[in-house]
Structure 1
C-alpha cells in the first residue's frame, strides 16, 4: 500500500471524525502502522501501545496468560486488547468498556476489533459500569482520556473503593496516567497513597514522555 510506505517519510491521515468526548478522532498511517489519535495525543497503537505493553510486562505475560478475566476501561482502538490476544496469548474473557460508540466503529473498521472472539464490548461510562458491576476480575486496565485530560472521577475515593472491590485477590490494576503539570504529579501521589497495606502499589514514571504507569496488586 502506497500510503503505508509513504508514512515512513510523513504521517498520512486517512480518516477524521468529530467526537463529543475527544474533539476529533483521526486514523493515520505513521511509520508503516495505522494509529488512532485524538486532536492532541495518541489513543491507540503507536506510543500508547508501547506504554501499556510495558505495563503488561511489569505484571508478567506468563502470569496474565493464566488469568481468567480481564476488564479494560477505555478501549479506544483496542491496541492493549490486541497485545493481550496476539502477544500475551490470553484466551480468557476480555470485557472492554468504552463510552464513545464512534471509537468502537472506527476500531472495528480500521483495526478489526470485532474479529476477536473472546472480547465483549460494552458501550457505557466506565464510572457507571464499575458502580453497577458485581463481577470480579484478575486484571483491570484503566486507560481513560478525553484528549489530554483525565476525568476526575478516576481519582475519587468512591471510585477507587469500588474498583478495589472488582479485583480478585492476587489480581492487578494497571493504570495509565498522563502527567503534564506539577498538579498532575501531586494528584498521582495522592492516588498512590489511597491504597492500604492490603495492596502493593508500584509507580513507573516517565514511560514515554508524559505517562506514569501504576501496577496495583491486591494482596488480601
Structure 2
C-alpha cells in the first residue's frame, strides 16, 4: 500500500527480469496502478490499456460481448484480456499468442492472468501461429512489439491476407501501431491507402496516447 501511494509521486519498480525479446521487463507501481514496461515503452496496463480500450469502444462493447472467439496476438501482461473479461463481460473463448514466456510468468504472478478461465495462452510467434491455426475468429487484436519496434511482417501483404482470411463474417481486426517518426507515419499511410480488399473496410484512430495509431479492419460479410 505504501508503494502504491508513493507511486503517485515517483514510479516504484518492484520486479525486473531480462528478456530475449525486449531486453528487460519491469513491473512498476505508477500513478497508483501496477504496470509492465519494456526498456523504452509501456507493455501492459497504464497507457497501453487505455489505447486498446479506446479501440474496443470503437468496435463496440455490445458487439464484442456477443462474439464467440477472440484472438490476441501479443499478450504481454494481458491488460486487453482483462478489459475484455472484466469490463466488457466477454464470455466466449480467448486465444492469446505470446512469444515471450517470461512475460506470461509475470502476468500470472502479478496480474493473475492464469485465473482467466476462458483464456488459452499459446507460446508461439504470431506470424507462425496465424499460418497454422485452423480456427476462425470474430475479433483479432494485433499488439505485437519488441520494445518500441514493430516486426516488419505485420505490414506484409501476405500476413494481412492471412489475418483477414481468419475472420468470421462481420469480424474485426484491431491493430495497434506505434508512430515515432515520419517514416512510421508514411508506413501506416501506405498500409491504409493500399488496402483494397473487397468486402472489407479500413480506418484509423490516429494519435492515441501521442505515439500510437489504431487501425481497424472490418469484414462486411
- Map 1:44-59 → 2, pairs under 5 A: 44-59=44-59
Look up the match of 2:206: 205
- Map 1:158-177 → 2, pairs under 5 A: 158-177=158-177
Deviation, 1:54, is 0.1
What is the TM-score normalised by the length of structure 2?
Answer: 0.98
Q: In structure 1, how many angstroms separate the alpha carbons of the residues matched to 2:23 and 2:169?
A: 38
Q: In structure 1, how many angstroms separate the alpha carbons of the residues matched to 2:93 and 2:190?
A: 32
Look up the match of 2:197: 196
Consecutive unaligned residues of structure 2, counting only runs of 5 or more, are none
Give every structure 1 segment of 4 or more consecutive aligned residues whose post-TM-superposition deviation is greater than 2 Å: none
3-state SS of 1:127 partner? helix
Deviation, 1:181, is 1.1
Provide closer, same or farther for how the CA distance between residues 30 and 141 of structure 1 changes in structure 2, counting only shifts above 3 A.
same
Range with greater deviation from structure 2 (160-169 or 195-204): 195-204
Look up the match of 1:83: 83
3-state SS of 2:70 partner? strand
Deviation, 1:194, is 2.2
- Map 1:1-220 → 2, pairs under 5 A: 1-192=1-192, 193-220=194-221
CA deviations over 1:189-211 (Å, ceiling 9, x no partner): 22212242311111011111100
3-state SS of 2:204 partner? strand
What is the TM-score normalised by the length of structure 1?
Answer: 0.98
Q: In structure 2, how many angstroms separate the alpha carbons of the residues matched to 1:44 and 1:211?
A: 14
Deviation, 1:187, is 1.0
Q: In structure 1, how many angstroms separate the alpha carbons of the residues matched to 2:187 and 2:134?
A: 28
Q: In structure 1, how many angstroms separate the alpha carbons of the residues matched to 2:215 and 2:149?
A: 17
3-state SS of 1:180 partner? coil
Q: In structure 1, how many angstroms separate the alpha carbons of the residues matched to 2:103 and 2:140?
A: 20
Number of matched pairs: 220
CA deviations over 1:63-117 (Å, ceiling 9, x no partner): 1000000000000000000000000000000000000000100000011000001
Consecutive unaligned residues of structure 1, counting only runs of 5 or more, are none
Provide closer, same or farther for how the CA distance between residues 27 and 66 of structure 1 changes in structure 2, counting only shifts above 3 A.
same
Root-mean-square deviation (Å): 0.7
Q: In structure 2, how many angstroms separate the alpha carbons of the residues matched to 1:199 and 1:151?
A: 24
